[in-house]
C-alpha cells in the first residue's frame, strides 16, 4: 500500500483535503504537564506518518541527500535542532545571495522550479516528511542538480529562528498548508501567533511573505492573523477576492479586497489541482515586511 503524501506545511500531513482527525494528537499542548521524568511535547502543525521510501525515492535519497539534505545536530526530538545548530548561509551556499525559504516544501515542485529558474538566488525548503524530501531530490536530479538549493528536515517554527539570523530571509512561502478544519485542531494551524512570532523577525526589511490556500475558512483565518501584525503590510490592498463560487463555505465577514493575484513563480501542485477539482477557490495572499 502506498504512503500518503504530505500537504504543504512545516512538516508532514496526510494527502487528503481533510486531515485524518480520528488520529490521536501527536503532540500535547505546550502548557500541558508531563509525567515526572518526561518532557512534554509542544503543539505542532503536523502528524508524523510512515516514511518508507519507494525504490526510486530511496535511490534519489542515497545519491543526493548528502549534498542537499542538511543534517544538523538534533535536540530532544529528531525534528528539533540542537542548541548549537546554526546555519552559516555564506558557507552553506558558497556565497551570500537573496534567500527564499519555503515552509512545507512537500514534494518539491515549487522550490526546485524556483531554484532552477533563479540561479541568482538561494533556496531553502523546510520539510520533515522524508518521502517528500526524497521526491524533491528526484526532482533536483531531473533539474540538473542546481547548486542554489538545500533542504532542512526540521520543524520550521523551532528550527528557523534557532538556525538563521534575523533579517536573513528575503522571501517566505507557505503554500497550501494543512487547514486543520475542525475547531479542536485549530491550534495546529501553521499560521498562528507562535509561528509568526518565530519567523517574522527573520524577514529582511521589504521581504515578501507569500501564501495560498484552497480553503476559504483558512483564508479567513490567515487574514485575521496576518492583517493584525504591525510588521506586515498587504502588497495588494485593493486586490479583489477570487472570482466565482466555492464548494466550501465562505465565512461571513470575509474580506472583499486585499487578495493577491496568483504569484507567477508558484507551480500548480497536486494539492491545488485537487482543491480546484473539488470546486474550491484558490486564495492568494502577499505581504511585505515593513
78 has binding-site annotation: no
Residue 277 has pLDDT above 90, yes or no: yes
83 has binding-site annotation: no
170 has binding-site annotation: no
Per-residue pLDDT of 172-186, as tens digits, reads 999 999 999 999 989
Residue bearing the bigger pLDDT, 185 or 249: 249
Residue bearing the bigger pLDDT, 208 or 14: 208
Residues known to be catalytic = 178
- The distance of Cα 247 from the centroid of its chain, to the nearest Å, equals 25
Q: Which of 3, 1, 7, 56 is nearest to 174 (CA)?
A: 7
Question: Which residue has cell 497536486?
Answer: 270
263 has binding-site annotation: no
285 near 223, Cβ under 8 Å? yes
Percentage with pLDDT > 90 across the chain: 78
Residues 6+ apart with CB under 8 A from 49: 3, 4, 6, 12, 14, 129
Say whether 282 sits in a helix, a strand or coil. coil
Domains and CATH numbers, the chain: 58-289 (3.40.50.150)
Find the helix or strand (DSSP H, E) in which 169 lies: strand 169-175
CA atoms of 153 and 166, how far apart (whole Å): 20
Amino acid at each position: 500500500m502506498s504512503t500518503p503524501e504530505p500537504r504543504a506545511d512545516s512538516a508532514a500531513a496526510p494527502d487528503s483535503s481533510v486531515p485524518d482527525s480520528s488520529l490521536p494528537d501527536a503532540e500535547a499542548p505546550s502548557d500541558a504537564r508531563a509525567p515526572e521524568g518526561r518532557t512534554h511535547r509542544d503543539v505542532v502543525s503536523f502528524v508524523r506518518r510512515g516514511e518508507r521510501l519507494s525504490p526510486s525515492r530511496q535511490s534519489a535519497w542515497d545519491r543526493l541527500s548528502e549534498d542537499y539534505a542538511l543534517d544538523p545536530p538534533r535536540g530532544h526530538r529528531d525534528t528539533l535542532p540542537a542548541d548549537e545548530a546554526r546555519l552559516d548561509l555564506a558557507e552553506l551556499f558558497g556565497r551570500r545571495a537573496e534567500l527564499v525559504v519555503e515552509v512545507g516544501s512537500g514534494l518539491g515542485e515549487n522550490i526546485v522550479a524556483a531554484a532552477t529558474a533563479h540561479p541568482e538566488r538561494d533556496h531553502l525548503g523546510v520539510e520533515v516528511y522524508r518521502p517528500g524530501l526524497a521526491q524533491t531530490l528526484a526532482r533536483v536530479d531531473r533539474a540538473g542538480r542546481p547548486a542554489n538549493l538545500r533542504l532542512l528536515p526540521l520543524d520550521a517554527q523551532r528550527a528557523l529562528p534557532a538556525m538563521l539570523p534575523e533579517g536573513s530571509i528575503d522571501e517566505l512561502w507557505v503554500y497550501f498548508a494543512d487547514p486543520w478544519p475542525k475547531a479542536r485542531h485549530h491550534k495546529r494551524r501553521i499560521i498562528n501567533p507562535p509561528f509568526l512570532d518565530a519567523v517574522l523577525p527573520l524577514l529582511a526589511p521589504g521581504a515578501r511573505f507569500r501564501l495560498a490556500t484552497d480553503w476559504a475558512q483558512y483564508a479567513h483565518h490567515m487574514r485575521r492573523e496576518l492583517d493584525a501584525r504591525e510588521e506586515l503590510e498587504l502588497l495588494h490592498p485593493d486586490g479583489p477576492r477570487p472570482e466565482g463560487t466555492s464548494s466550501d463555505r465562505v465565512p461571513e465577514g470575509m474580506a472583499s479586497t486585499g487578495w493577491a493575484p496568483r504569484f507567477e513563480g508558484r507551480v500548480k501542485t497536486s494539492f491545488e489541482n485537487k482543491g480546484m477539482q473539488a470546486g474550491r477557490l484558490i486564495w492568494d495572499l502577499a505581504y511585505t515586511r515593513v
